[in-house]
Structures are given as structure tokens and as C-alpha cells.
């Protein structure tokens, strides 16, 4: 049982919802990203996702793309990720997951990347563009190093894919929604609920919903049927517009009513 899993289950059992917060390492600087992640942990985030700035973030929205481009332009390199993790871990005990596309990990060396994560104090990794069928090395290395591995499922995923990705996940399953788009809210909420229902019918692994969640009502609503709500863009946007003070305010706002 992982600390991520433990946190989600303990919150659920106590009647408290869970807020998982994403923020890119190195944005706008290494120090700023450490301060941002610590502030998120201290003001309501139960689990942190530390994003890896990457040159081809095909699954990220514009706000996160701009932030990661700024981090890279400021000189961020992959090795800096582990320094960010170390500094955050020195200040908070919140579970930490790396969020990374697979190519940077592969180029760095899967085993080396895993060992660096462990040494720095991270609990595991979310791999948005990797499926278990193509993850033999990561499955073995994560087991060997006792790291969580979070795979994604989507409303378009077949039951076979949902079952396979859920079975391979440790920590939680990332259920992708496109909630919050103007004019399509009710339909998209229904898709997220249906997907979570399928995950729960096919697996005992907790599942958290992400993509498009931006306000406290949505965070509470998602926690009503899933094991946690994942927020990224809203946090990055808050920092971009109002700095650390704005990020703290947004974190507190989203955590309201979770118990």
C-alpha cells in the first residue's frame, strides 16, 4: 500500500475529500516552483503532482504549455527535477508524484530516473502517454524501487483498457474528464461519472478525476463519486496572474468544503 493510496483512502473513510495539485517544476524558477508546491501542500493539497517541462507537451493546455516553456527558457533541465523534489520534501511530508511524458524518462534512463526519484523523496510517477502494454521496463523498475505508477483512462477507453490500466496502477487510476467546458458541463460530468463507475466496477484501485476542474464546486462534486479531484491549470493560472499570494488563495478556495 502506497502513501498516496493511504492518503486517499484515509480521507475517504473520514468523510474528507482529496485535492491533488499539479505544478510544473522550474516555473518560473527552481526556487519559485519549490515555494509554490510547498504553499499548495500547506494550504489544502493532499497530494502534489510535480510536472516535468517538456518540449512537446501534446496533452497539456495552453496555460501549462506556456509555463513549461518559460521554465525551459529559464534553463530548466531534467536533472533539476530532483532538486525541486528534494527541496519540497525537506519542507512538507505531502505525498509527491512526478508527472512526466515518457520520452524524457527514457532518454534519462528508466532505472536511473527511478532511483533519483526515490533518493529525492518522491512516491512515484504519472505517465500520461504510456500504457501498460508498452511499459514492461517501468513496471519492473517501479516494483523494484517500490514506486507508485499511475496510468490514465478516458471516457473513450474500452472496458478491457480500463481494467488493464487500473490493474497496473499503484496509488490511483487517473480518470480523464473534460469537465467545465462552457455549454457542455452536464454531458461531460456524466461522462466522468460513467468512467469512474467503470473503474470502480473493474478495479479496487482508487481513482481520481482530472482535466478541466477549476472551482470549488467541481472539486466537491468530483469527490462525491471519485476518490479525489486533480487540478492543474487553475493553479498555474493563479500563479501567473497573482504570484504566490494568488496561488495560496486559489488553493484555499478549492479546498473549501472538503472536510
Grid cell, residue 101, equals 511524458
Catalytic residue, from 60, 116, 148, 221: name it: 60
Nearest one of 239, 123, 226 to 176, comparing CA atoms: 226
Per the annotation, the verdict on 32 as an active-site residue is: no
Q: What is the dihedral of CA 251, 205, 106, 110, to 10 degrees?
A: 100
Catalytic residue, from 35, 46, 49, 189: name it: 49
Task: For 14-54, give the DSSP string.
Answer: TT---EEEEEETTSS-HHHHHHHHHHHHHTT-SEEEEE---
Sign of the dihedral through C-alpha 153, 55, 100, 226: negative
Nearest one of 82, 57, 90, 20 to 258, comparing CA atoms: 20
DSSP state of 129: T
Q: In the chain, what's the furthest Cα-to-Cα distance?
A: 46
Per the annotation, the verdict on 49 as an active-site residue is: yes
- Which residues are known catalytic residues? 49, 60
Amino acid at each position: 500500500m502506497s502513501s498516496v493510496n493511504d492518503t486517499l483512502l484515509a480521507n475517504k473513510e473520514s468523510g474528507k475529500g482529496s485535492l491533488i495539485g499539479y505544478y510544473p517544476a522550474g516555473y518560473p524558477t527552481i526556487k519559485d516552483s519549490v515555494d509554490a508546491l510547498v504553499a499548495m501542500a500547506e494550504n489544502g493539497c493532499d497530494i502534489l503532482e510535480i510536472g516535468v517541462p517538456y518540449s512537446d507537451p501534446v496533452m497539456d493546455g495552453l496555460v501549462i504549455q506556456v509555463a513549461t516553456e518559460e521554465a525551459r527558457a529559464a534553463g530548466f533541465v531534467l536533472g533539476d527535477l530532483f532538486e525541486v523534489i528534494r527541496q519540497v520534501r525537506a519542507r512538507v511530508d505531502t505525498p509527491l508524484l512526478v508527472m512526466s511524458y515518457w520520452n524524457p524518462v527514457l532518454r534519462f534512463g528508466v532505472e536511473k530516473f527511478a532511483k533519483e526519484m526515490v533518493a529525492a523523496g518522491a512516491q512515484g510517477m504519472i505517465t500520461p502517454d504510456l500504457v501498460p502494454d508498452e511499459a514492461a521496463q517501468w513496471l519492473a523498475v517501479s516494483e523494484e524501487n517500490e514506486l507508485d505508477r499511475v496510468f490514465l483512462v478516458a471516457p473513450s477507453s474500452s472496458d478491457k483498457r480500463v481494467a488493464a490500466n487500473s490493474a497496473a496502477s499503484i496509488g490511483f487510476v487517473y480518470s480523464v474528464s473534460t469537465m467545465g467546458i462552457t455549454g457542455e458541463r452536464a454531458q461531460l460530468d456524466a461522462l466522468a461519472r460513467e468512467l469512474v463507475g467503470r473503474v470502480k466496477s473493474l478495479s479496487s484501485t482508487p481513482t481520481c478525476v482530472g482535466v478541466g476542474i477549476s472551482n470549488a464546486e467541481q472539486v466537491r462534486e468530483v469527490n462525491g463519486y471519485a476518490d479525489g479531484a486533480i487540478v492543474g491549470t487553475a493553479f498555474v493560472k493563479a500563479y501567473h496572474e497573482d504570484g504566490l499570494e494568488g496561488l495560496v488563495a486559489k488553493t484555499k478556495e478549492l479546498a473549501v468544503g472538503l472536510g
